[in-house]
Structures are given as structure tokens and as C-alpha cells.
């Protein structure tokens, strides 16, 4: 799995990482080891291009972020 695909999967399953991405996407992408081209793909947010580049087109997706709240 590419680093871009790994980051996308982690963003969908790791609330702390998703919060960090909201605050500083460039830092998270850099830390994940993405190339400039991969960062541009993610920043463009074109789902069809991301699916083609990562092969993740067959996975179930949502465009909602679900955040846990601890009381």
C-alpha cells in the first residue's frame, strides 16, 4: 500500500490524526512521507484521482468526520 493510501486509511480510523490533519495538513502529510505529487492530490480533494492513485476505490467511504467525545 502506498504512503498516500496508508495515510487516507489512518485518517479515517485515527481521531487524533484526523484532528492533527485539520490543524496542519501539510505537517501530517510531510510526517507521513508523502511526495509533493501525493500532497497535491490530497490537497485537490478530487476523489476519482485519489482512488486511481491509491487503488482504494473499492473501499466504503464517507465524507463525514466522526469525533468521539469523552464525558
pLDDT at 64: 58
pLDDT at 9: 85
Q: Is residue 67 part of a domain?
A: no
Q: Is residue 66 part of a domain?
A: no
Per residue of the chain (71 residues), what is the pLDDT tens digit?
Answer: 689 889 988 988 898 999 999 999 999 999 999 999 999 998 888 878 888 888 776 655 556 556 665 65
pTM of the model: 0.72
pLDDT at 61: 56
Give me the count of residues in the chain.
Answer: 71
Total domains in the fold of the chain: 1
Q: Is residue 63 part of a domain?
A: no
For residue 9, give the nearest of 60, 68, 64 by alpha carbon.
Answer: 60
Q: Which domain holds residue 43?
A: 3-54
Q: Map residue 1 onto helix, strand or coil.
A: coil
Q: Is residue 69 part of a domain?
A: no
pLDDT at 50: 81
Q: Is residue 64 part of a domain?
A: no
Amino acid at each position: 500500500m502506498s504512503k498516500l493510501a496508508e495515510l487516507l486509511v489512518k485518517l479515517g480510523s485515527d481521531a487524533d490524526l484526523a484532528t492533527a490533519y485539520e490543524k496542519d495538513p501539510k505537517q501530517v502529510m510531510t510526517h507521513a512521507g508523502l511526495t509533493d505529487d501525493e500532497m497535491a492530490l490530497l490537497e485537490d480533494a478530487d476523489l476519482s484521482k485519489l482512488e486511481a492513485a491509491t487503488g482504494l476505490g473499492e473501499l466504503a467511504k464517507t465524507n463525514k468526520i466522526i469525533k468521539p467525545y469523552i464525558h
